[in-house]
Amino acid sequence: MKTIAEYIEEVIKEAFKASEYDEKFAKVTISNRPDLCEYQCNGAMAAAKTYRKAPIMIANSVVEKLQDSPVFESVEAVNPGFINLKVKKEFLADYLNRMLADPKLSVEEAKNPKTIVIDYGGPNVAKPLHVGHLRSAIIGESIKRMGRFLGHKVIGDVHLGDWGLQMGLIITELSKRKPELVYFDEAYEGEYPEEAPFTVSELEEIYPTASGKSKEDEAYKNEALEATLQLQQGRRGYRALWKHIMEVSVTDLKKNYAKLNVDFDLWMGESDADAYIPDMVNYLKENGYAYLDQGALVVDVKEETDTKEIPPCMILKSDGASLYNTTDLATIVQRMEDFKPDEIIYVVDKRQELHFVQVFRCAQKAKMVEDDTKLTFVGFGTMNGKDGKPFKTREGGVMRLERLIGEINEEMFRKIVENRSVKDENAEKTAQMVGLSAIKYGDLSNQASKDYIFDIERFTSFEGNTGPYILYTIVRIKSILSRYAEEGKNPEDGMIQCAVNASEKNLMLELSRFNSIIEPAFEEKAPHRICAYIYDLANAFNSFYHETRILGEEDEMKKRSWIRLLTLTKKVLETCIDLLGFSAPERM
């Protein structure tokens, strides 16, 4: 469906033309003075320059042509030349009824659906998930859902960090603790055991221990580097250990992501890119893109228009070892082979921006992607604590994701139980759902690229611009609808009638904006726009609710119309929170 603004603009264009002015001046926007009008057109001001006339004269003549329009309740020219518009109630009601009848609630699917790979999550195997990975998961999941809602084919890849030094560190530490394991016997030729020689909690302890040792002990670090190299070169025992580490870790990661309502289509990682490296390196060399600089293989990626220095993209170190660049480039090769995507989106900490500038430029310059393949970096800011520094535990350590989620859920549970007179065995489940909304909305309501303060108290509040407030609003609607159904009536029957008061009309106007929000939100990879929208919508609904006795209304027609309006509000809110990656309980 066209947006309301598009409908309005069409009519205004006709009026400009009828007045013999160019229709390009008929731009319509949402009013920035809601006390005066709902939509506005400022085109007369711009047209005044072209036609050398007073803007108010132009506005007056356009307004004259619009007097009997079926779209407007009122059209006014206001000095110096604004055209103030109010939408006709019938037109608005009709629009909302069409939304109700549309499975996508007025949002049109893309005419040319794209294949998009989205790379998000990026956890490092064997290291516990920490809050840094939270943002990537939350933002990426939302972008993925938006893209799919708009009809694109979106493939989510977790892109595990599974090939780096952390693997060598674990192997080294294991070799000290259990040197008798067959994995370390280079002469061994038999099958390796099915069972991993460690549990997930052991693994979680082994990594930080090894990492600590390597920082103090140079020889230890060299051993770990050597183990990493041998692993990458295919030493059998190490590969077998690596498989165990992967199995144990990935099972645990899956459990954690599931708790966050985050789901990946692909569980690929840096290790999967390894096989593509040798051919890629040859290709870069043979086609003259890469050259040797002090032993290292590099590709120049600076451009004339650069205002700051962009160093060459290093493909291989002088000892022949591959780097983060190498894996990311090889992963592009692999994704092009597997999916031929129109776009690859990376949702990664914005401090990695330079890395992606180099990788993207290299891929484009060396024609590893098509000319029209879009490579998009969505860089996010840091999640800080109330002190404005990166979020830590109360004791000052790195905050593990599980612990953070646990703390939020406890807080939510406490609040929910406080609100209840009767015992509710679902309270724990509800607390988890509301807790997730607190975390996700708290994150997504900020522009992704900005740092933000993770404030448990504020995020878990039932009032203000929070996830729990949005859920509370949905639950309120659900409860009215189910009481209506208890009266033996079907909330799916009937039509929305014209608004009878200002708060109802305001709610209707907010609802009608839905499609004008979703598409740009995806184009700009900006879930915060959806948050801003549902906050306005929830406020509009709650004002209407406080002014209106819905179930007590005696006029059946009116009551049914309101029930339909509530149904639409619920659908729009639920669709939006689904795009943000959380859902609402039945009660709270």
> Residue 363 or residue 511: which is nearer to ligand ARG going by CB?
363
- Binding segment (CB under 6 A) for ligand ARG, from list 116-124, 218-226, 429-437, 529-537: 116-124
Residue 435 binds ligand ARG, judged by CB under 6 A: no
Check residue 159 for interaction with ligand ARG (CB under 6 A).
yes
Distance CA 261, CA 437 (A): 11
If the CB atoms of residues 127 and 145 are measured against ligand ARG, the closer one turns out to be: 127
Interface with ligand ARG by CB under 6 A: which range of 118-126, 491-499, 534-542, 575-583?
A: 118-126
Q: Is 147 in the site for ligand ARG (CB under 6 A)?
A: no
**Nearest-CB residue for ligand ARG:** 122
Q: How far is the CB of 316 from ligand ARG (least distance, A)?
A: 18
What kind and span of H or E run contains 135?
helix 131-149
Q: How far is the CB of 370 from ligand ARG (least distance, A)?
A: 19
| Options 117-125, 282-290, 294-302, 491-499: segment touching ligand ARG (CB under 6 A) | 117-125
The DSSP call for residue 110 is P
Task: Return the number of the residue (43 or 161) whose C-beta is nearest ligand ARG.
Answer: 161
Q: Give CA–CA dist 350/532, Å, rounded.
A: 23
Q: Looking at 45-53, 119-127, 205-213, 390-398, which segment touches ligand ARG (CB under 6 A)?
A: 119-127
Least separation in angstroms between residue 203's CB and ligand ARG is 17
Distance of closest approach, residue 281 Cβ to ligand ARG, in angstroms: 19
Nearer to ligand ARG, 119 or 173 (CB): 119
3-state secondary structure 316-384: ECCCCCECHHHHHHHHHHHHHHHHCCCEEEEEEEHHHHHHHHHHHHHHHHCCCCCCCCEEEEEEECCEE
Integer CA distances (angstroms), 214 to 174, 210, 514, in order: 14, 6, 54
Give the residue with the Cβ less far from ligand ARG, 119 or 504: 119
Helix (H, G, I), strand (E, B) or coil at 172: helix
Tell me whether residue 577 is exposed, middle or buried, using C-beta atoms within 10 angstroms of its C-beta: 0 to 12, 13 to 18, 19 or more: buried
Tokens of 298: 């590099």
> Is residue 346 a contact residue for ligand ARG (CB under 6 A)?
yes
Provide the minimum distance between the beta carbon of 120 and ligand ARG in the complex, in angstroms, as a whole number. 8
Nearer residue to ligand ARG within complex by CB, 277 or 475: 277
Q: Which of 301, 348, 511, 572 is in the footprint of ligand ARG by CB under 6 A?
A: 348
Please state the closest distance from residue 163 (CB atom) to ligand ARG, in A. 10
Burial of 32 (0-12, 13-18, 19+ CB in 10 A): exposed
> Which is nearer to ligand ARG, 16 or 346 (by Cβ)?
346
DSSP 511-552: HHTHHHHHHHHHHTT-HHHHHHHHHHHHHHHHHHHHH--STT
- Residues 419, 421, 426, 427: what is their CA dihedral angle, to the nearest 10 degrees? 30
Residue 197: asked if its preceding bond is cis (omega within 30°), the reply is: no
Q: Which of 565, 496, 535, 518 is nearest to 1 (CA)?
A: 518
Report the residue number, 8 or 116, with the smaller CB distance to ligand ARG.
Answer: 116
- Read off the tokens for 256: 């954690």
Among positions 178-197, residues that touch ligand ARG (CB under 6 A) are: none
The residue among 124 and 473 lying less far from ligand ARG, judged by its C-beta, is: 124
Instruction: Tell me: does residue 116 bind ligand ARG (CB under 6 A).
Output: no
440 binds ligand ARG (CB under 6 A): no
Contact status: 9 vs ligand ARG (CB under 6 A):
no
Contact between 328 and ligand ARG (CB under 6 A)?
yes
Of 121 and 467, CB closest to ligand ARG: 121
Contact with ligand ARG (CB under 6 A) among 81, 122, 168, 527: 122
Establish if 124 lies at the interface with ligand ARG (CB under 6 A). Answer: yes
Rounded Cα distance between 344 and 225, Å, is: 31
Q: Using H for helix, E for strand and C for coil, what is the string for 176-235? A: HHCCCCHHHCCCCCCCCCCCCCCCHHHHHHHHHHHHHHHHHCHHHHHHHHHHHHHHHCCC
Say which residue the tokens 């109630």 belong to.
Answer: 89
341 contacts ligand ARG (rule: CB under 6 A): no
**By CB under 6 A, is residue 161 in contact with ligand ARG?**
yes
Query: Strand, helix or coil at 61?
Result: helix
Which residues are near ligand ARG by CB under 6 A?
Answer: 119, 122, 124, 159, 161, 328, 346, 348
